[in-house]
Structure 1
Amino acid sequence: MRRTGYGITLDVPAGWASSIARRPTDAGADAAARGIAPPDAADGGPVERTLPVLHVCSRAIPTGTGDFGSGLVEELASEDVFVALVEYGSDLAGTGLFARSGWPRLAPSQFSPGRMPRQLPGRSASQHFFSVGGRAFCLYTVIGSHSRRMATVPRAAGVVRSMGVESAVAMRRKGVVL
Protein backbone atom coordinates (compact mmCIF):
# COMPACT_ATOMS: atom_id res chain seq x y z
CA MET A 1 0.00 0.00 0.00
CA ARG A 2 1.29 3.46 -0.92
CA ARG A 3 1.14 5.99 1.92
CA THR A 4 1.50 9.75 1.44
CA GLY A 5 1.42 12.73 3.80
CA TYR A 6 3.21 16.07 4.21
CA GLY A 7 5.15 15.44 1.02
CA ILE A 8 6.48 12.10 2.29
CA THR A 9 5.65 8.85 0.50
CA LEU A 10 6.47 5.21 1.11
CA ASP A 11 5.33 1.71 0.28
CA VAL A 12 3.99 -0.02 3.39
CA PRO A 13 4.51 -3.79 3.32
CA ALA A 14 1.41 -5.96 3.67
CA GLY A 15 0.58 -6.52 7.34
CA TRP A 16 2.62 -3.54 8.56
CA ALA A 17 1.22 -0.41 10.24
CA SER A 18 2.16 3.18 9.40
CA SER A 19 1.40 6.78 10.25
CA ILE A 20 2.52 10.17 9.03
CA ALA A 21 1.54 12.98 11.36
CA ARG A 22 2.42 16.35 12.78
CA ARG A 23 2.03 16.80 16.51
CA PRO A 24 -0.37 19.58 17.51
CA THR A 25 1.40 22.69 18.79
CA ASP A 26 1.07 23.43 22.49
CA ALA A 27 -0.45 26.82 21.66
CA GLY A 28 -2.90 25.28 19.19
CA ALA A 29 -3.96 22.54 21.61
CA ASP A 30 -4.38 25.06 24.44
CA ALA A 31 -6.42 27.42 22.25
CA ALA A 32 -8.61 24.59 20.96
CA ALA A 33 -9.31 23.47 24.52
CA ARG A 34 -10.52 27.00 25.29
CA GLY A 35 -12.55 27.24 22.07
CA ILE A 36 -10.52 30.03 20.49
CA ALA A 37 -8.30 30.34 17.42
CA PRO A 38 -4.61 29.55 18.05
CA PRO A 39 -2.15 32.46 18.14
CA ASP A 40 -0.20 33.27 15.01
CA ALA A 41 2.43 35.71 13.78
CA ALA A 42 -0.25 38.43 13.54
CA ASP A 43 -0.39 38.35 17.35
CA GLY A 44 3.20 39.56 17.41
CA GLY A 45 4.58 36.47 19.17
CA PRO A 46 6.61 33.56 17.90
CA VAL A 47 4.73 30.81 16.14
CA GLU A 48 5.39 27.27 17.27
CA ARG A 49 5.66 24.79 14.43
CA THR A 50 5.69 21.05 14.39
CA LEU A 51 7.11 18.87 11.65
CA PRO A 52 6.10 15.52 10.17
CA VAL A 53 7.01 12.23 11.81
CA LEU A 54 6.62 8.98 9.90
CA HIS A 55 6.34 5.66 11.70
CA VAL A 56 6.21 2.28 10.01
CA CYS A 57 6.32 -0.99 11.92
CA SER A 58 5.82 -4.69 11.40
CA ARG A 59 3.31 -4.63 14.28
CA ALA A 60 0.52 -2.29 15.36
CA ILE A 61 1.56 1.23 16.38
CA PRO A 62 -0.11 2.25 19.64
CA THR A 63 -1.59 5.72 20.08
CA GLY A 64 0.89 7.94 21.87
CA THR A 65 4.02 6.32 20.44
CA GLY A 66 6.92 8.75 20.80
CA ASP A 67 8.70 10.22 17.78
CA PHE A 68 11.51 7.68 18.16
CA GLY A 69 9.24 4.79 19.10
CA SER A 70 9.01 5.01 22.88
CA GLY A 71 6.06 2.94 24.01
CA LEU A 72 6.51 0.62 21.02
CA VAL A 73 10.14 -0.47 20.72
CA GLU A 74 9.96 -1.99 24.20
CA GLU A 75 7.33 -4.42 22.84
CA LEU A 76 9.11 -5.53 19.64
CA ALA A 77 9.41 -9.28 19.12
CA SER A 78 12.61 -10.74 17.65
CA GLU A 79 11.35 -10.49 14.02
CA ASP A 80 9.87 -6.98 14.35
CA VAL A 81 11.11 -3.82 12.65
CA PHE A 82 10.33 -0.20 13.52
CA VAL A 83 11.32 2.76 11.32
CA ALA A 84 10.90 6.44 12.23
CA LEU A 85 11.57 9.31 9.84
CA VAL A 86 11.61 12.53 11.88
CA GLU A 87 11.78 15.86 10.05
CA TYR A 88 13.79 18.75 11.46
CA GLY A 89 12.99 21.48 8.94
CA SER A 90 14.33 23.06 5.79
CA ASP A 91 16.32 25.65 7.75
CA LEU A 92 18.71 22.88 8.92
CA ALA A 93 19.01 21.06 5.59
CA GLY A 94 22.60 20.66 4.45
CA THR A 95 24.11 21.91 7.73
CA GLY A 96 25.83 20.28 10.71
CA LEU A 97 24.33 16.87 11.50
CA PHE A 98 22.26 17.15 8.33
CA ALA A 99 25.16 17.87 5.93
CA ARG A 100 24.96 14.42 4.33
CA SER A 101 22.85 14.56 1.17
CA GLY A 102 20.64 11.71 -0.01
CA TRP A 103 18.84 8.76 1.51
CA PRO A 104 20.86 6.45 3.74
CA ARG A 105 21.18 2.80 2.78
CA LEU A 106 20.66 0.44 5.72
CA ALA A 107 23.04 -2.47 6.31
CA PRO A 108 23.26 -4.98 9.18
CA SER A 109 26.72 -3.63 10.11
CA GLN A 110 25.14 -0.25 11.01
CA PHE A 111 23.04 -1.74 13.82
CA SER A 112 24.16 -1.97 17.42
CA PRO A 113 22.54 -2.34 20.85
CA GLY A 114 24.67 0.67 21.84
CA ARG A 115 22.70 2.91 19.46
CA MET A 116 19.59 2.59 21.60
CA PRO A 117 18.99 5.65 23.82
CA ARG A 118 18.53 3.18 26.67
CA GLN A 119 19.44 -0.47 26.68
CA LEU A 120 16.60 -2.87 25.90
CA PRO A 121 17.53 -6.56 25.95
CA GLY A 122 18.12 -7.88 22.45
CA ARG A 123 17.15 -4.68 20.60
CA SER A 124 19.46 -3.01 18.12
CA ALA A 125 19.24 0.36 16.37
CA SER A 126 20.66 2.49 13.59
CA GLN A 127 20.42 6.27 13.28
CA HIS A 128 21.20 8.49 10.29
CA PHE A 129 20.97 12.26 9.89
CA PHE A 130 20.69 13.57 6.32
CA SER A 131 19.07 16.04 3.96
CA VAL A 132 17.04 15.43 0.83
CA GLY A 133 15.02 17.89 -1.25
CA GLY A 134 16.09 20.80 0.96
CA ARG A 135 14.58 19.06 4.02
CA ALA A 136 16.49 17.73 7.08
CA PHE A 137 15.68 14.31 8.56
CA CYS A 138 16.69 11.70 11.08
CA LEU A 139 16.08 8.07 10.12
CA TYR A 140 15.91 5.90 13.24
CA THR A 141 15.43 2.16 12.87
CA VAL A 142 15.04 -0.45 15.62
CA ILE A 143 15.01 -4.20 15.14
CA GLY A 144 13.69 -6.64 17.71
CA SER A 145 16.80 -8.80 17.86
CA HIS A 146 20.41 -7.87 17.23
CA SER A 147 21.24 -11.52 16.61
CA ARG A 148 18.55 -11.63 13.85
CA ARG A 149 19.77 -8.44 12.09
CA MET A 150 20.86 -10.31 8.93
CA ALA A 151 17.20 -11.28 8.40
CA THR A 152 15.41 -8.18 9.67
CA VAL A 153 17.56 -5.29 8.38
CA PRO A 154 16.84 -6.10 4.69
CA ARG A 155 13.12 -5.72 5.46
CA ALA A 156 13.76 -2.28 7.00
CA ALA A 157 16.03 -1.34 4.10
CA GLY A 158 13.28 -2.17 1.61
CA VAL A 159 10.90 0.21 3.36
CA VAL A 160 13.52 2.98 3.39
CA ARG A 161 14.29 2.44 -0.33
CA SER A 162 10.58 3.00 -1.06
CA MET A 163 10.56 6.40 0.68
CA GLY A 164 10.49 9.69 -1.16
CA VAL A 165 9.90 13.33 -0.32
CA GLU A 166 8.71 16.38 -2.18
CA SER A 167 11.24 19.19 -2.03
CA ALA A 168 10.86 22.04 0.44
CA VAL A 169 10.37 24.39 -2.52
CA ALA A 170 7.48 22.29 -3.87
CA MET A 171 5.90 22.15 -0.41
CA ARG A 172 6.16 25.95 0.00
CA ARG A 173 4.39 26.37 -3.36
CA LYS A 174 1.55 24.33 -1.83
CA GLY A 175 1.53 26.64 1.20
CA VAL A 176 3.18 24.12 3.56
CA VAL A 177 6.14 25.47 5.53
CA LEU A 178 8.54 22.82 6.80
Structure 2
Amino acid sequence: MKPAAEHRLAGHGLAVALPARWEGRLYRRTVGQPGATLHAQATGTGTGWPGELSHPVLHLANFALPASRGDYGTGAVELMGPDNLFVALLEFGPDCLGTALYSPRGLPRVTPGQFNPNGMQRRIAGQAGLQHFFTQGNRPFCLYVVIGSHRQAVALAKQANEVLERIEVEHAG
Protein backbone atom coordinates (compact mmCIF):
# COMPACT_ATOMS: atom_id res chain seq x y z
CA MET A 1 0.00 0.00 0.00
CA LYS A 2 1.36 3.38 -1.00
CA PRO A 3 1.71 5.94 1.88
CA ALA A 4 -0.51 9.01 1.69
CA ALA A 5 1.13 12.01 0.08
CA GLU A 6 1.96 15.01 2.22
CA HIS A 7 0.15 18.25 1.63
CA ARG A 8 2.07 21.53 1.80
CA LEU A 9 0.52 24.78 3.01
CA ALA A 10 2.34 28.02 2.23
CA GLY A 11 1.57 31.72 2.39
CA HIS A 12 2.14 34.89 4.37
CA GLY A 13 5.78 33.90 4.96
CA LEU A 14 4.84 30.59 6.61
CA ALA A 15 4.94 27.05 5.25
CA VAL A 16 4.35 23.54 6.58
CA ALA A 17 4.37 20.06 5.07
CA LEU A 18 1.41 18.37 6.76
CA PRO A 19 1.86 14.77 7.90
CA ALA A 20 -0.53 12.21 6.42
CA ARG A 21 -4.06 12.45 7.86
CA TRP A 22 -3.46 15.97 9.24
CA GLU A 23 -5.41 19.06 8.25
CA GLY A 24 -4.24 22.62 8.17
CA ARG A 25 -5.47 26.10 7.36
CA LEU A 26 -3.40 29.23 6.85
CA TYR A 27 -5.22 32.52 6.69
CA ARG A 28 -5.19 36.21 7.36
CA ARG A 29 -8.53 37.81 8.22
CA THR A 30 -9.79 40.48 5.88
CA VAL A 31 -10.45 43.75 7.65
CA GLY A 32 -14.16 44.40 7.97
CA GLN A 33 -16.32 47.38 7.38
CA PRO A 34 -18.44 48.94 10.12
CA GLY A 35 -21.16 46.46 11.05
CA ALA A 36 -19.35 43.53 9.41
CA THR A 37 -18.09 42.05 12.68
CA LEU A 38 -21.51 40.82 13.83
CA HIS A 39 -22.21 39.41 10.38
CA ALA A 40 -18.80 37.64 10.42
CA GLN A 41 -19.48 36.15 13.85
CA ALA A 42 -22.89 34.93 12.74
CA THR A 43 -21.66 33.43 9.47
CA GLY A 44 -18.12 32.36 10.41
CA THR A 45 -16.60 34.31 7.53
CA GLY A 46 -13.46 35.29 9.43
CA THR A 47 -13.78 39.00 8.81
CA GLY A 48 -11.92 41.17 11.30
CA TRP A 49 -13.13 44.39 12.85
CA PRO A 50 -12.72 47.85 11.29
CA GLY A 51 -9.22 49.18 11.87
CA GLU A 52 -7.80 45.78 12.80
CA LEU A 53 -4.25 45.02 11.69
CA SER A 54 -4.57 41.43 10.53
CA HIS A 55 -1.70 38.94 10.85
CA PRO A 56 -1.26 35.32 9.70
CA VAL A 57 -2.83 32.44 11.62
CA LEU A 58 -1.87 28.80 11.05
CA HIS A 59 -4.08 25.96 12.35
CA LEU A 60 -2.92 22.34 12.31
CA ALA A 61 -4.84 19.33 13.60
CA ASN A 62 -4.81 15.55 13.47
CA PHE A 63 -8.61 15.61 13.09
CA ALA A 64 -11.05 17.28 10.69
CA LEU A 65 -11.06 21.05 11.23
CA PRO A 66 -14.47 22.69 11.09
CA ALA A 67 -14.85 25.50 8.57
CA SER A 68 -15.68 28.04 11.26
CA ARG A 69 -13.17 28.40 14.13
CA GLY A 70 -11.67 31.09 16.27
CA ASP A 71 -7.99 31.99 16.07
CA TYR A 72 -7.31 29.97 19.23
CA GLY A 73 -9.39 27.01 18.06
CA THR A 74 -12.83 27.79 19.47
CA GLY A 75 -15.19 25.60 17.48
CA ALA A 76 -12.48 23.00 16.84
CA VAL A 77 -11.22 22.01 20.28
CA GLU A 78 -14.77 21.19 21.37
CA LEU A 79 -14.78 18.43 18.72
CA MET A 80 -11.54 16.79 19.87
CA GLY A 81 -11.32 13.22 21.09
CA PRO A 82 -8.67 11.96 23.53
CA ASP A 83 -6.11 11.22 20.77
CA ASN A 84 -6.54 14.56 19.03
CA LEU A 85 -4.15 17.49 18.84
CA PHE A 86 -4.71 21.10 17.79
CA VAL A 87 -1.89 23.58 17.05
CA ALA A 88 -2.35 27.31 16.44
CA LEU A 89 0.50 29.59 15.43
CA LEU A 90 -0.53 33.24 15.52
CA GLU A 91 1.65 36.11 14.39
CA PHE A 92 1.52 39.44 16.18
CA GLY A 93 2.52 42.93 15.05
CA PRO A 94 6.03 44.34 14.89
CA ASP A 95 5.24 46.49 17.95
CA CYS A 96 5.69 43.27 19.99
CA LEU A 97 9.30 42.81 18.85
CA GLY A 98 11.81 43.42 21.60
CA THR A 99 9.30 43.07 24.42
CA ALA A 100 9.99 40.69 27.29
CA LEU A 101 7.02 38.45 26.43
CA TYR A 102 8.37 37.72 22.93
CA SER A 103 12.07 37.57 23.90
CA PRO A 104 12.47 33.77 23.57
CA ARG A 105 14.02 32.99 20.17
CA GLY A 106 12.93 30.21 17.84
CA LEU A 107 9.82 28.09 17.43
CA PRO A 108 9.63 26.13 20.70
CA ARG A 109 9.17 22.42 21.16
CA VAL A 110 6.82 21.08 23.79
CA THR A 111 7.21 18.60 26.65
CA PRO A 112 4.45 16.52 28.25
CA GLY A 113 4.84 18.32 31.59
CA GLN A 114 4.04 21.70 30.03
CA PHE A 115 0.43 20.74 29.28
CA ASN A 116 -2.04 21.91 31.90
CA PRO A 117 -5.85 21.91 32.06
CA ASN A 118 -5.55 25.55 33.18
CA GLY A 119 -3.54 26.32 30.03
CA MET A 120 -6.71 26.26 27.98
CA GLN A 121 -8.44 29.37 26.69
CA ARG A 122 -11.54 27.79 28.23
CA ARG A 123 -11.40 24.58 30.28
CA ILE A 124 -12.79 21.45 28.61
CA ALA A 125 -12.92 18.23 30.64
CA GLY A 126 -9.90 16.01 30.02
CA GLN A 127 -8.09 18.44 27.72
CA ALA A 128 -4.90 20.36 28.44
CA GLY A 129 -3.10 23.18 26.69
CA LEU A 130 -0.05 25.35 26.63
CA GLN A 131 0.95 28.70 25.24
CA HIS A 132 4.40 30.06 24.30
CA PHE A 133 5.31 33.51 23.05
CA PHE A 134 8.50 33.82 20.99
CA THR A 135 10.21 35.51 18.06
CA GLN A 136 11.41 33.75 14.93
CA GLY A 137 12.76 35.40 11.82
CA ASN A 138 12.23 38.84 13.39
CA ARG A 139 8.51 38.03 13.67
CA PRO A 140 6.61 37.72 17.01
CA PHE A 141 4.35 34.68 17.50
CA CYS A 142 2.17 32.84 19.95
CA LEU A 143 2.13 29.04 19.83
CA TYR A 144 -1.02 27.53 21.35
CA VAL A 145 -1.32 23.73 21.57
CA VAL A 146 -4.28 21.71 22.88
CA ILE A 147 -4.26 17.96 23.53
CA GLY A 148 -7.43 15.91 23.70
CA SER A 149 -6.42 14.06 26.86
CA HIS A 150 -3.97 15.05 29.56
CA ARG A 151 -3.37 11.30 30.03
CA GLN A 152 -2.06 11.14 26.44
CA ALA A 153 0.44 13.99 26.97
CA VAL A 154 3.57 11.93 26.17
CA ALA A 155 2.33 10.63 22.81
CA LEU A 156 0.62 13.89 21.83
CA ALA A 157 3.65 16.03 22.74
CA LYS A 158 5.72 13.81 20.44
CA GLN A 159 3.20 14.34 17.61
CA ALA A 160 3.15 18.08 18.26
CA ASN A 161 6.94 18.29 18.00
CA GLU A 162 6.93 16.26 14.80
CA VAL A 163 4.59 18.77 13.16
CA LEU A 164 6.38 21.79 14.68
CA GLU A 165 9.62 20.54 13.05
CA ARG A 166 7.90 20.95 9.68
CA ILE A 167 7.01 24.64 10.07
CA GLU A 168 9.10 27.17 8.13
CA VAL A 169 9.09 30.89 8.94
CA GLU A 170 10.49 33.43 6.46
CA HIS A 171 12.59 36.19 7.96
CA ALA A 172 10.86 39.59 8.05
CA GLY A 173 12.82 42.28 6.25
TM-score under structure 2 normalisation? 0.84
- Given candidates 7, 24, 27, the residue that maps to 1:18 is 24
Gaps of 5+ in 2: 1-6, 40-49
Name the residue aligned to 1:160.
164
**Pair 1:119-2:123 in alignment:** yes
Contact 1:94 1:100 in 2 (8 A): no
Moved over 6 A (4+): none
The aligned amino acid for 1:60 is A
Deviates more, 1:70-79 or 1:95-104: 95-104
Instruction: Provide closer, same or farther for how the CA distance between residues 28 and 87 of structure 1 changes in structure 2, counting only shifts above 3 A.
Output: farther
Question: 2:7 aligned with 1:7, yes or no?
Answer: no
1:136 alignment partner in structure 2: 140
Tell me the CA shift for residue 47 of structure 1.
5.3
Unaligned runs of 5+ in 1: 34-45, 170-178
Task: Check whether the contact 2:102–2:140 (CA below 8 A) recurs between aligned residues.
Answer: yes
Identity of aligned residues (%): 41
Q: Give the drift of 1:141.
A: 0.3
- Shift in CA distance, 96/59, structure 1 to aligned 2, threshold 3 Å: same
Residue correspondence of structure 1 range 19-168 to structure 2 within 5 A: 19-27=25-33, 48-168=52-172
Tell me the TM-score normalized by structure 1: 0.81
Taking the aligned partners of 2:51 and 2:73, their CA distance within structure 1 comes to: 27
Q: State the aligned residue count.
A: 155
Q: CA RMSD in A?
A: 1.9
Give the structure with the higher percent helix: 1
